[in-house]
Amino acid sequence: MTDQVGTTAGEGFKDRKTGLLVFGILQIVIGGVCALMVPFLILGMMMASVAAPKKGVPPVTPGMMIPGVMVYVLLAVWFLWMGIGSIKARRWARALILVSSWVWLVVGIIGMVFGIIFMPNIYEQMAKNGRIPAAMASVMTILLLGLLFVIYIVVPGALVLFYGSRHVKATCEQRDPQVRWTDRCPPPVLAVSLLFALGTCFMPLMGFYGWALPFFGTILTGPAGATVALVLMVVCAYVAWGSYHLKVPAWWAALLLVITWGVSAGITFSRVDLMDLYAKLNYTAEQLEMMKTYMPNPSAMLVVFGLWGIVALSYLIYIRKFFTPPPPVEN
């Protein structure tokens, strides 16, 4: 049973401290699972590398291992941090969980559409090649789509509904009355700031893939790719900082970056086969052959990438209203 509590504005709300505790524990559990995945991932990749030559499957290289391990490490830290913040009813935790869950949900919805369209074809191809029994193709498709639905839709959807509640917001504001850094930026803009900050952190990982980047009709690698990646990292860092401070130039930088990157990718992949990019990302010949066999039509994947670009542009246009120029200086 929840109690009615009054906010500073005099409006009643239901104290959601118990819910914050439950959802905090849930996120700590998710963080623990991500942390456990790190040693399992390393061990699995090492075993796969040893067994690969004997079974005729592509080997696993260290460059493929390290980025995956780092992703799970960051996810573990994030969920553990957010879980503790939720249990303590911190305002910053509610804001960060809400915006990240919205991103998670949007990505999940697009990922589910992608899976529903292309996953049956992948398992059908595996069945034709004798890698799985033909009768199992449909079953495995349904099971995996069900799992993805829980991970991509149910979990982030529950987080969005709970942390987006006015009762949860009021509970955190009452139990944590101090103004936090997340309160100084509108949530829709905070999401953009966090995404570009994440891009800044992950850009150096391109080094594990030979710095291969599509660039206006060609695939850059080596020093040229590293130089472009460094420029992108600096721009992303500026957009992350400037968006948080609601700087209009940062919004323009984000818009131009998305448009430029979209045009560059469009020109590049109208001239270069998608497999050429994967080849320069240090994938082996065996891995490329498997990708050709099981991956969806490259043209269809480019359509999906194009949809991502439209979503990004639409969202940037939507949040433009939050960016206001500084007031004129009076003489």
pLDDT tops 90 at residue 50: no
The string of pLDDT tens digits covering residues 240-258 is: 999 999 999 999 999 999 9
Residue 65 pLDDT level (bands cut at 50, 70, 90): confident
Averaged confidence pLDDT in the chain: 83
The string of pLDDT tens digits covering residues 110-156 is: 888 877 777 766 666 666 666 666 667 677 778 888 888 999 999 99
In single-letter form, the type of residue at position 321 comes to: K
Q: How far apart are CA 57 and CA 135, in angstroms?
A: 23
- Residue 59, in any domain of the structure: no
| pLDDT, position 301 | 63
Q: How far apart are CA 57 and CA 285, in angstroms?
A: 11
Q: List the beta strands (DSSP E) in 108-163.
A: none
- Residue 10, in any domain of the structure: no
The string of pLDDT tens digits covering residues 162-220 is: 999 999 999 999 999 999 999 999 999 999 999 999 999 888 888 888 898 889 988 99
- Residue 302, in any domain of the structure: yes
Across 59-85, b (16+ Cβ under 10 Å) vs e yields ebeeebbeebeebbeebbebbbebbeb
| pLDDT, position 306 | 77
- Residue 247, in any domain of the structure: yes
Question: 76: which 2 tokens?
Answer: 């573990």
- Residue 118, in any domain of the structure: no
- Domain range spanning residue 191? 185-324
Give the predicted TM-score (pTM) of the model. 0.82
pLDDT tops 50 at residue 8: no
> 83 versus 202: which is more confidently predicted?
83
| Percentage of residues in the chain having pLDDT higher than 90 | 47
- Residue 278, in any domain of the structure: yes
Can you give the C-alpha Rg of the chain in angstroms? 23
The string of pLDDT tens digits covering residues 253-295 is: 999 999 998 888 888 888 887 777 777 877 767 667 766 666 6
- Residue 199, in any domain of the structure: yes
- Residue 134, in any domain of the structure: no
DSSP 201-264: HHGGGGGGGTT-EEETTEEE-HHHHHHHHHHHHHHHHHHHHHHHTT-HHHHHHHHHHHHHHHHH
Q: How many domains does the chain have?
A: 1
| Percentage of residues in the chain having pLDDT higher than 70 | 77
